[in-house]
Chain A
Amino acid sequence: MLLVRPGHVTVTLTPPADDQIPPDATRWQMAGLRRSALSRLSDRLYLGLTGGAAAVAIAVVAYLIWATWDQTSAVWDTFGVWGFLAGREWIPSPAEGDPVFGALPFIYGTLVTSAIAMLIAVPLAVGIALATTVVLPRPLRGPVSGTINLLAAVPSVVFGFWGLVVLVPAARPVLEWVAAHNLRTLAIAIAVLAVMALASSHGARVFSLASAAVLAAVIAMTLWDLPLVPHLDAPYTLLSGPVISGSYVMAGLVLAVMVLPVITAVARGVLATVPREQQEAALALGATRAEMIRHSMLPWARSGIVGASALGLGRALGETIALAMVAGNVQNIGGSLLGPTYSAAGVIALQWGEAGDLQMAALTALGLVIFAITLLVNMLARMLVRRGATGPGPVERLRGRFSHRADAPAADATDVRHRLRAGNEERALPRVSVNRRVRSAGFEGAVLVMVLMGAVPLGLLLFEVLREGVGMMSTTFFTQPQPVDPNDVMGYGIKDALIGTLVLSGIATVIAAPLGLLTAIFMSEGHARGGVAGRAADGIGVFVDVLLGMPSIMAGVTVYLAIVTAMGHFSALAGGIALAIVMFPIVVRSSDEMLRLVAGGQKEAAQALGAPRWRTMWSVVLPAAAPGILTGVMLAIARAAGETAPLLFTSLGSQQGFEGLDKPIASLPQFIYGFLIQVRTDGSVRFSWGATLVLVGFILALTLVARLIMRFTSAREVQQ
């Protein structure tokens, strides 16, 4: 008797051959064994549909990237790969002769500014993450980490704007002092960095060390005035003046503030997963809280912290808008860190619009170079993570290795034991040595200082946006068109930009959300099936990771090359597609994670009841994963809505509201950026604060709703 109906494996199994069916089997039993043709067809359709969607999405993006690559051939033909990468001249329109394009100054500028940013941001992020998981008093942890989480969603144009208007003027006197006290400051800076390096650990140290190595190279170059330093007669020192408004340090500072919340939020999430037992293991050995953190929590979280830092570094490398505002935009190799620099993404944003064919190819190639560097960083980080997750990190591996010779006599540890017992007198309570107490207090003090150094500026940013922006809030601000005269902004509003942002995010969502979800479903089914589908799913996963690391300006570049030139004009549709490219990998990743979370027991339960695949997905997995998927989509929208760089060459911007999908359209982030480039008066700055508040409010509202959905649904599940 066969009582078990075939489960989900039917699709891949051939039906039982006749001779395998017991001779006394009735037609009724046979019907129970076979699924109807319709049912089998539905599963095939389901796989075909999801696989098709995934294939279309991937093919489109792959085509865009290929078309972009294709566009750069002129560069390689003219200068050669090495000639372009190592070229130090970038002269698009020389007085005489042919234009020359060399990428090195921009690669250098991007790497050095990112290194400065990482050196500042990673220790601060780890410090804040530790503070909000263990060090701070309990009631303070929630508000601080909540603020940081919200800030992780704030778009970069806001940081750029804030950096330009608030941070740069505030940092100026400090940097002037630095420039005036060159050597002494260097010593202080090294001391501060040493303290930070002590306080941060393991994974964070890897990134800090890498950044320090880049900076050390810079110091060497400048101190010894290597031939790499161009057109400098006098020997230049690292931090010599004059202090100017755009420089390596300013750019590094703004970048640091920008990536700080991202790294902190991820690092905090990782630290929160350190099991209680791990913490208690250290405490039970007589560790202070600081020692517990260093020996138990940080090693456990190391790989996650490396991953968080890699994410932050990827953002820093690809950042466009903030850097174009505060870098000084002069190609430079070496020179004072207080001097101007030019980032790769920045030069793309500033020169793309006016570039001739070869220059455009060179800019595209530069974008691909940055993309490649980001990929390399991610791969390196992943390697480190994989090697570090299960074993001692590189630092520990270098320290004390033990080897044992088989013939060695048993060691005598009486003396050591004796010394270890030295404090254990019965006359008095045991004490912790002053040395240890000072060290531990020092560590916790350093963590608290980091909270002050990191969280306070971020809190101030939110406060500033609120304080400056609230004054602009009125009905007119939401219902009136953009101002023209920067001295006369009253009575005007951001209606067009707001509508534009809604339209653009809407287009992006309509494209990216379904494609992303279908791709994620295909990946989940592919993994379950294995074979060709499984390998395809793996490939898609890698591809999506690659896309996640793509600098957002590259989305603009690819869409310009493939769509804007084909359509013949800038359009809302092109902008929406560019944003969709930014959203797509985020949606796939978050949906994939959600589907995985559900996949276990519930899915098997449904399949054990004989439900076909699509039904299992539709009526069991999707409903359970829906809140998480929705949250992921909303976070992706929040991310896309704040993007400026992909829109610069696609939707162009407009003074009017929505005029059709094939017409240029305004958007809030671009409006803020454009309005600052266009004009900078008291009125325009105030107006930009207002627009910033609306943009931040819109994005934070999305983020908050996403969080509430998660909290509400997870609370309900707990109740069940």
Chain B
Amino acid sequence: MNELLRDDTLRRLGPQVLGVLVRRGADFATAEDAVQEALLEAVRRWDAPGATAPSDPKGWLVTVAWRKFVDARRAASSRAQREIRVTLEPPTGPTEQADDTLLLLSRCCHPALSPASSVALTLRALGGLTTAQIARAFLVPEATMAQRISRAKKTVTGERFSEPGDVRAVLRVLYLIFNEGFTGSPADGVDLAAEAIRLTRQLVAAVPEDAEAAGLLALLLLHHARRDARTTAAGELVPLDRQDRARWDTATIAEGVGLLQRALARDRLGPYQAQAAIAALHDDAATADETDWPQILEWYDELARLEPRNPVVALNRAVAVGHVDGPLAGLRLVETLDAGLPRRDATAAYLHERAGDLDEAARRYAVAADAATSAAERTHLTKQAGRLRHAPG
């Protein structure tokens, strides 16, 4: 097989080529189809017996994709006899590439799209994943995912775009992609968490002055570093305080901490930086007992100031309060929160156990297990209830 086809070259080039087309003024949906066709043609041509790949594969792809785009537009508008001006531009340098990344990301993460649609479109247009791969990662039939992407492209085509794109919306979508890979099963073939990190790196390169983009990348890295220790070989969850910290990835932690420090130095604090700071403090503790809870609580106070109406923040802050001011203080906060809030019972159970009320802790873990949204979480919470009910004494 041709060298360019063997590695990830095509997958990496696809989004860059799409960026060039869109920057030249091509509409997103038609351009995306054109790039997919150009990639298929590349596979056919370059892999033919005796074929040699072009010396400038990106230039080749841009030429072919642009031709396909023009053909598609001509076919669509032949009646209107609209003329399409073909611009001949020099190859793009790194600056244009970074701009293209931001341009594409802001289209894929447009607020008019549902989160699920943004995630799918981003993975295809920027991740360079095939529809089949994305469908597998989200456990839906390929035809369903194809339709979701197609509807998303139609929605985006009708929208106007303000420069330079909404970085906040992009951050949310990247965070969602990471979470899907973090809480879901290690999907066959596609590592969504790693993909989210790769895309966030591209975003940070495109908006190097944005402290929250760097904060998100730091947050993802600081969580990703614990991934191997988060589950047993059988796929069961291991909570943070029971993880084998020797299995944490220290190089990734160091990178995350460095990014976070540079982001904080910009003095533009936001929720992602605050969450990254909390993750960094957890990662910094050699044992669970050495966790610097007072400092974590300070960061939760910051986070609660930034997002005063976020109940998840309030719930997590209650855990920190439980460690600093005692479990009963934490419980008082938990009980003020809405009963339907996810993980509220699990948090209450954790604090009741620390307060020494094992019966109530077991009961709340069992309630939490019934409300769990993932099989791994359900098993984990069920075991917590059983552990307390079989505790000696």
- The answer to whether A and B belong to the same complex is no
